Copies of this chain bind each other. A is one copy, B any other.
Amino acid sequence: MSILVVGSVAFDTVKTPSGEVHEALGGSATHFSVSASFWSPVRLVAVVGEDFTDAHRQPLLDRKVDLAGLTTAPGRTFRWSGVYGDDLNSARTLDTQLNVFADFRPEIPEAWRSTPLLFLANIDPELQWNVLDQVHGAQLVAADTMNYWIDSKPEALKKLLGRVDILLINDGEIRQLTGERNLMRAVDAVRRLGPQAIVVKRGEHGVLVVEGERAFALPAFPLKAVLDPTGAGDAFAGGFLGYLASHGTAGDRDMRRAAVVGSVMASYQVEDFSLDRLKRLTHPEIRERYAGFEDLTRFKPLS
């Protein structure tokens, strides 16, 4: 089934200890879409400026991402610039130019309003709420957020969670949102706000998925070289939800396998800058790393 994603498309200028890129294609909706496209048809809703060319569209079209919801507004495309130090876990933002993104009011094309799986990437929770009102046909709603919205619009965010089935959030953010230092108690607190499933992204420490009373924890793939962590969380979300969409959203949905697939996609995402690794990624490589995760985590019963 199809996935609809609403989020940002941006030009990223990124410097890491391994190199740098200048105004490379990025943004949450971009990274999500390319990753999810390996699994399911993707519909992208975002806004870009007049400086966004056909050449910029091409990597998304190559992955058959449907761009009927990508609107062009007068002005320049959203730009972000950041630098990572030796600790690749977090970037220092050098510059943010919202440009056309500042006035983004997502309009969902009529034909897309019954898309079965909706992913609300990290944007203003009030806009996420508005998108939910439009996509009345969604059977499964997943959302991401970030520290900025937890700080500035906590009530709007908490209200939104009452309509969200799956929340994807990183470990620092879930502690910030709930005021709970203990991760499992933070997860419990979020579940009381609505989501049935919580996916805690822990960067180099992997991912924790809690659904009902069961928890699943997966370490990150131990890579010897991480070139650029930008987009890892979005690539994870793309693999996670892309896999769920490709296997239906019925009772047998397998969030564990989905979390491994998401981790596979994220592990490739960080092996190069921008979309460079996912552009050349193949399904045999995906299967190979999935098997790598099996080898990394398997152990025998206690004899």
Contact = CB atoms under 8 A, between A and B. Distances in A.
A299 B256 CA distance: 6
Interface in A83-141: 86-88
Interface stretch (A59-67, A161-169, A218-226): A218-226
B217 A222 contact: yes
A208 B219 contact: yes
Contact of A87 (B181, B219, B302): B181
Bin chain A's interface residue count.
Answer: 35 or more
A257 B256 CA distance: 22
Contacts of A21: none
Contact of A216 (B206, B218, B287, B296): B296
A205 B208 contact: no
A301 interface: yes
Given A217-B222, A218-B219, A297-B297, A261 B302 contact: yes
Interface in A201-221: 202, 204-206, 208, 214-219
A139 B231 CA distance: 48
Interface in A250-302: 254, 256-257, 259-261, 287, 290, 294-302
Interface of A: 86-88, 181-185, 188, 202, 204-206, 208, 214-219, 222-226, 254, 256-257, 259-261, 287, 290, 294-303
Given A184-B223, A205-B219, A219-B219, 8 more contacts: A182-B226, A185-B224, A205-B205, A216-B297, A256-B299, A260-B299, A260-B302, A287-B302
- In order of increasing CB-CB distance, the 10 nearest A-B pairs are A217-B219, A256-B299, A205-B205, A86-B181, A184-B224, A290-B302, A184-B222, A217-B296, A215-B222, A260-B299
